[in-house]
Amino acid sequence: MPNYTKKDFPTHNVRRFLEPGPIVLVSSEHKGETNIMTMGWHMVMEFQPSLVGCIISSANHSFEMIRKSRQCVINIPTEDIATTVVKIGNSSGRDIDKFAEFGLTAAPGTHVRAPLIAECYANFECRLVDASQVKKYNMFIFEVVKAHVATAPKVPKTIHYRGDGEFMISGANTSRYRRLFRPEML
């Protein structure tokens, strides 16, 4: 068992340990305009219906586009487009057309008008089902109504943000602990 020596740590920085779910790209469409933002603050909330909570700053151009259109696509990028992912997160759709600027392909969805990003490993079409926490927390609760996932590679090299400009690329995959699960917990 590890035996760690600990020190006080600023509470506002605990995100550096909790955050590393995959960084996603949120694409949106409103009144003919499309946009993309980078997002790390998301959380799975329910299996069925498939609910995902997302924090989208009201300072972002995407905020009003998604609040008004009540839909978006959550796209999962991989390491090979990490530079683009950071650039998307450091620019605004107020100033540029991010699909054109970063050479990304907007593919049509089947359930929402927001475009899928073809260069991403997976695309989840989402509808805004609960806006009750938007005003207080900028938190949008989406239902994933359609999912498109690449057939290969089996385990994508996803990008995980650790704060302060540091990233982690998903590494070793193991089924070593699978036998310890109760079937209903898998």
Ligand X SMILES: Cc1cc2nc3c(=O)[nH]c(=O)nc-3n(C[C@H](O)[C@H](O)[C@H](O)COP(=O)(O)O)c2cc1C
Residues that bind ligand X (CB under 6 A): 23, 35, 37-41, 55-57, 60-62, 86, 89-94, 161
- CB-CB contact of 54 with 134 (8 Å): no
- CB-CB contact of 41 with 57 (8 Å): no
The minimum distance between CB 1 and ligand X, in angstroms, equals: 33
101 vs 30: CA distance, rounded Å? 19
The minimum distance between CB 11 and ligand X, in angstroms, equals: 18
77 vs 41: CA distance, rounded Å? 15
* Nearest to ligand X of 38, 69 (CB atom): 38
The minimum distance between CB 61 and ligand X, in angstroms, equals: 3
The minimum distance between CB 100 and ligand X, in angstroms, equals: 13
* Nearest to ligand X of 39, 76 (CB atom): 39
* Nearest to ligand X of 3, 37 (CB atom): 37
* Nearest to ligand X of 8, 83 (CB atom): 83
User: Which residues, listed in sequence order, are joined to residue 156 by a DSSP beta bridge?
Assistant: none
For the chain, the residue count is 186
- CB-CB contact of 72 with 61 (8 Å): no
The minimum distance between CB 134 and ligand X, in angstroms, equals: 12
| Residue at shortest CB range from ligand X | 89
36 vs 19: CA distance, rounded Å? 20
139 vs 130: CA distance, rounded Å? 9
Those residues with Cβ within 8 angstroms of residue 108's Cβ, 6 or more apart along the chain or in another chain: 115, 116
